[in-house]
Amino acid sequence: MEMLFLTLLIGGASDIKFSDLVAGEPERIASELKFTEGPVWHHDGYLLFSDIPANTIYKLTLDHKLEVFRNPSGNSNGLALDSKGRLVACEHGNRRVSLTKADDEVITLAEAYKVKNLNSPNDLAIKSDGSIYFTDPPYGVQSDQRELDFQGVYKISPEGKISLLLDDFEKPNGLVFSPDEKVLYIADTARKHVKAFDVKPDGSLTNMRIFVDSVVEDNHGPDGMKVDENGNLYVAAGVTWIFDSSGNHIGSIKTPEAPANCAFGGPDNKTFFITARTSVYKIPMKVSGAKAIKN
């Protein structure tokens, strides 16, 4: 594995060592796909991920068996599981956020804001109270089909109400909560930075600050993100950058293909999965991914 310490772009190195986090090298566990995204580990022992152009959600086991989980998928991108283990998906093609119920019925959670169709929901993060936060850039919609003149960040309440939280992003993309859910990180791919917001008790966001700037490698800006149990942030952006909770660069994981998203999983939550263009990779870790807070 090549370890990259690109501190000039960030302005500081972390006291945490890369070797304290990463235990081995990336291993390709699926290949010959089209464009992989949205990995999420299912508690039944497999990884789910999207292949956006293939209009398919795949199921991938640790022994590398690949099978179709759902097709068509609505050209799904970001995936997450709610507290009941049900799949929530951002669907580019259907321009909606969907929920797959226990009987496999797929229903719409959000498809419009103030009667105007969403752009193309991209990625999501689910808070422990059941609220779903998602980004809505225009990557999956033609310009002449857009009805909203902004790229928003939204919240779907546990009761199903959609509210606009932010409308000043150029290309909002990956988002993830800190382990204590007091901070929400949101990537803006076009502006090549990650913003941090404090999460208020009512779920709204305040105290915006640039958490890290100039997050780019090989012309790829920040995309999907995850955090580990200690609050370190993992950002897919040409390589997978790792930052400590103060925004200092720890190091980067380099894969043969540029990553689009990432997730922790495995039986002990110490396997790190990276969806990277036509492949999926796994990496053994010394730390666990952050677990949802139980109310």
Within-domain flag for 85: yes
Within-domain flag for 294: no
pLDDT-derived band at 8 (thresholds 50, 70, 90) equals very low
Q: Does residue 292 register a pLDDT over 80? A: no
Reply yes or no: is the peptide bond before residue 72 cis, omega within 30 of 0: yes
Strand 151-156 to 66-70 pairing: unpaired
Please report the pLDDT score of residue 12 as a whole number.
63
Within-domain flag for 290: no
User: How far apart (Å, rounded) are the C-alpha atoms in residues 56 and 189?
Assistant: 24
Q: What confidence tens digit (pLDDT) does each residue in 69-91 have?
A: 999 999 999 999 999 999 999 99
User: How far apart (Å, rounded) are the C-alpha atoms in residues 148 and 151?
Assistant: 8
Within-domain flag for 292: no
Please report the pLDDT score of residue 293 as a whole number.
64
Within-domain flag for 81: yes
User: How far apart (Å, rounded) are the C-alpha atoms in residues 84 and 207?
Assistant: 32
Please report the pLDDT score of residue 264 as a whole number.
98
Within-domain flag for 11: yes
User: How far apart (Å, rounded) are the C-alpha atoms in residues 77 and 290?
Assistant: 21
Which structural domain, as residue segments, surrounds residue 225? 7-284
Q: Specify the CATH number for the domain of residue 279.
A: 2.120.10.30
Please report the pLDDT score of residue 7 as a whole number.
32
Question: What's the total number of domains in the chain?
Answer: 1
Please report the pLDDT score of residue 291 as a whole number.
86
Within-domain flag for 56: yes
Q: What confidence tens digit (pLDDT) does each residue in 239-280 have?
A: 999 999 999 999 999 999 999 999 999 999 999 999 999 999
Strand 279-284 to 271-276 pairing: antiparallel
Within-domain flag for 195: yes
pLDDT-derived band at 4 (thresholds 50, 70, 90) equals very low
| Percent of the chain topping pLDDT 70 | 95
pLDDT-derived band at 6 (thresholds 50, 70, 90) equals very low
What does the pLDDT average to over 99-120?
97
Please report the pLDDT score of residue 18 as a whole number.
96
Q: End-to-end distance of the chain based on CA atoms, in angstroms?
A: 39
Q: What confidence tens digit (pLDDT) does each residue in 199-213 have?
A: 999 999 999 999 999
Please report the pLDDT score of residue 14 as a whole number.
86
Distances in Å between the Cα of 120 and the Cα atoms of 79, 136, 171 are 14, 5, 11
What does pTM read for this prediction?
Answer: 0.95
